[in-house]
Structure 1
Amino acid sequence: MSRDCTDYRDIFLNDRPMMDARAPIEFAHGAFPGVVNLPLMNDREREQVGTCYKQHGQQAAIALGERLVSAEVREQRIQGWVEFARAHPDGYLYCFRGGLRSQIVQQWIKEEGGIDYPRVGGGYKAMRTFLLETIDHAVAECDMVLLGGMTGTGKTELLVQLSNGLDLEGHANHRGSSFGKRATGQPTNIDFENRLAVDVLKKRVGGIQQFVLEDESRVVGSCALPLPLYRGMQVAPMVWLEDSLEQRVERILQDYVINLHAEFVAVHGEQGFALYAERLIASLNNIQRRLGGERHQRMFLQMEEALVEQARSGSVEQFRDWISVLLREYYDPMYAFQREKKGGRIEFAGERGAVLEYLRERVNQRV
């Protein structure tokens, strides 16, 4: 029988194919990038077997599991596992703790497909612990620099040009502001942490010992940053990215209007425009209390007129009106306050080219 693999570092560094034998509800709660869910039991079967295990022990639970899964269903599941094993000879299978479920799957693959397919020792739980420790070690052992700046300065655009950039918003699939929701949903918090940890692991193995991250709050949309990372960010030095209001308006127009509209149409087809318009209005309404009644109403009417014109002619020209108000009267005062509050940590400020050059040189100067 194939030996268990406990080299979690190799698994994630080389994107080893993995088959997750946990129930769908467990998989949906959190999984690893690129993993395929081929469960031993569905959610209902797992619930019944789990209850039986608690009340009557392991043997009774195994017997119940065999009774619940018909010969036809069992054959279909085994076929799926064998096909995966044949297609991915360098892969692994796992369950929650590397216990009974993955043992059964492994045994049936051997009996029906003649394949000694290896399991991950310790299962999902051990790999998840490894990834969380990867983030903890990076916070303790590496330098961090935060990239700050007013809304619309293009911090993410700059970040992804850096070999040592960690794109928190990319991993969270969110642009990090009140208008930051995308047409596609966010990952679960566990998935977000796992993606981030794999990114950190690969970068550290590549020799990176200093990371640049955007100055974020504890949550990016619905995804919360790992607490050790967030705490480390609160004392890290900062670099401040500057740009003109005109350029920032254009960038917001591109990201939050043109690109968002295209995303919704790509995902939802004919319903895309209506859903995109709903999303924009909902985002504005979410900050109504902070805007104040009069300003919210003024911006709402500007947005509504812009949406009507976009639907009629495709033009996005009118969006610049409410975007300018949003930046000047809402975001800029908040960010100006933040800059003053964090001023002692800002070691460099400048426009895109100067900031990019400074951050690249900073990595080379690290001792």
Structure 2
Amino acid sequence: MSAGLIDTSSNMALFRSIFLNDIPLIDTRAPIEFEKGAFPSSVSLPLMTNDERAKVGVCYKQHGQQAAIELGHSLVCGGVKEQRVAAWIEFARRNPQGYLYCWRGGLRSQICEQWMTEADCDYPRVDGGYKAMRRFLIDEFERICSQHPLLLLGGRTGCNKTALIEGSGRAADLEGLANHLGSSFGRRADGQPSQLNFENALAISMLKAERQAAQTGQPMLFEDEGRLLGRCVLPPALMAAMKRSSIVVLEASLEERVEHSHRNYILNKLAEWQQQLGEAYAFDTFAEDLTQALFRVRKRLGGVVYGEISNLLEQALNAHRKGDPEKHRGWIERLLVDYYDPMYDYQLRSRSDLIVFRGDRAAVCDWLNIEF
């Protein structure tokens, strides 16, 4: 597509194409804006730094637009300008199908486009910028939630529902998008996205799931989750859709669930902390994370049970420090039996009329038409 402002009448089709095909995007807003909320396929190559943007903003309020533009040009000039233009051109060379945008498709992206054109690089900018694309995602998200049937995959903690979600091809992996394992113990070493980033990625994932569901004639699949995944909040439209959706229940033995939880919450999480912090500091952080996660559910456990499981956890951590991670299985089993199972069973009984199938992994895969 030639450079220049994208025709407003084609925006819907353009946005859909960008998000369904992960089209690369240059985000020319300041880093602080990018960190608050952006799109999965975008990279931050700002016209101005946070400090430069702040100065221009103050100038705009005090002296008007023209004075702010002149200040901006004085701040981004010479070698600084050359470096930033070179970064945009390099991105365009590697991603000729891409676009650039700012907050509303206004002055900042216009300046970037102009400077790139002056350097013999034509690159299109998005009409409406981040704000218009974000509005598109919100509208599409709410449309999908209200119009399309969803199918929930439920099951007790440790059933490894996520593997089926990932293998279905027509699902939005809520835990993956939130970078969280979905319980008090679900914190990941590399942290979670901002709420806006989570919502943007979720909407895009739902667009892709809708397309795949349409191709296969199957409903979109979601893991049966609560409102919170760590600090990420599921939007109200999705929660409303999930409350009225049919449920497929995956069943697994206690032994299988302990094994999965041990691998996921102990072995894999320690490996994540080691990769993030290095061997010297990882175990202490890992141990503190487990201890605090158990402390957060102490009231629901009750004082006696909490004390017993806490002692088992402490013994397991001491053994683990000496090279034996197997003792974790004891407190994991107690926690599943005394806390997670009763809680999930109670929640599921209140929606028993929505259950359309239940079975082991092979049976559920067959019912969902997922390769086992």
TM range (shorter): over 0.9
Correspondent of 1:252 among 261, 270, 283? 261
Deviates more, 1:133-142 or 1:93-102: 133-142
2:43 is aligned with 1:36: yes
Q: SS in structure 2 opposite 1:165? A: coil
Q: Give the match for residue 71 of structure 1.
A: 78
Rounded to whole Å, the distance in 1 between the matches of 2:293 and 2:123 is: 49
Equivalent residue runs for 1:129-148 within 5 Å: 129-148=135-154
SS at match of 1:147: strand
Percent same amino acid among aligned pairs? 48
What is the CA–CA distance in structure 1 between the aligned matches of 2:327 and 2:105, rounded to whole Å? 57
Deviation string 1:29-71 (CA, Å, 9 cap, x unpaired) is 0111131101111112112212222332211110121233352
Residue deviations 1:199-241, cap 9 Å, x none?
2222333325611111111121111112111111111111111
How does the TM-score come out when normalised to structure 1? 0.93
For 2:347 and 2:76, how far apart are their aligned partners in 1? Answer: 59
- Equivalence for 1:364: none
Mean CA deviation greater in 340-349 or 321-330: 340-349
Determine if contact 2:151/2:220 at 8 Å carries over to the other structure.
yes
> Which residue number in structure 2 is paired with residue 52 of structure 1?
59
Q: CA deviation at 1:321?
A: 0.9
Which of 190, 205, 214 is matched with 1:199 structurally? 205
Please say if residues 172 and 209 of structure 2, whose CA atoms lie closer than 8 Å, have aligned partners that are also in contact. no
Please list, as runs of the form range in 1=range in 2, the aligned pairs for 1:95-174 lying within 5 A after superposition.
95-111=102-118, 113-174=119-180
Alignment-derived partner of residue 340 in structure 2: 331
Residue 289 (structure 2) aligned to one of 266, 279, 290? 279
> What is the rounded CA distance, in whole Å, between the counterparts of 1:167 and 1:183 in structure 2?
19
Alignment deviations for residues 308-363 of structure 1 (CA, whole Å, 9 cap, x no partner) = 111112x22211110111011111111121121111111212111112222229xx
2:231 to 213, 222, 232: 222
Matches of 2:316 and 2:129 in 1, distance apart?
52
SS at match of 2:249: strand
- Name stretches of at least 5 consecutive residues in structure 2 with no aligned partner: none
RMSD between superposed Cα atoms in Å: 1.6
What do residues 134-190 of structure 1 show as CA deviations (whole Å, max 9, x unaligned)?
211211221111111111111112222212222111111111111111111111111
Alpha-carbon distance between aligned partners in 1 of 2:70 and 2:266, rounded to the nearest angstrom: 57
SS at structure 2 position matched to 1:160:
helix
Q: State the alpha-carbon separation in 2 of the partners of residues 26 and 11 from structure 1.
A: 20
Q: Could you tell me which amino acid in structure 2 is paired with residue 177 of structure 1?
A: S
Paired residues in the alignment total 359
Alignment of 1:179-194 (within 5 A): 179-194=185-200
Deviation at 1:21, TM superposition (A): 0.3
Please state whether the residue corresponding to 2:264 is helix, strand or coil.
helix
Flag structure 1 segments of 5+ consecutive residues without an equivalent.
362-367
Give 3-state SS (helix, strand or coil) of 1:93's partner.
strand
Aligned partner of residue 243 in structure 1, secondary structure: coil
Residue type of the alignment partner of 2:4:
R
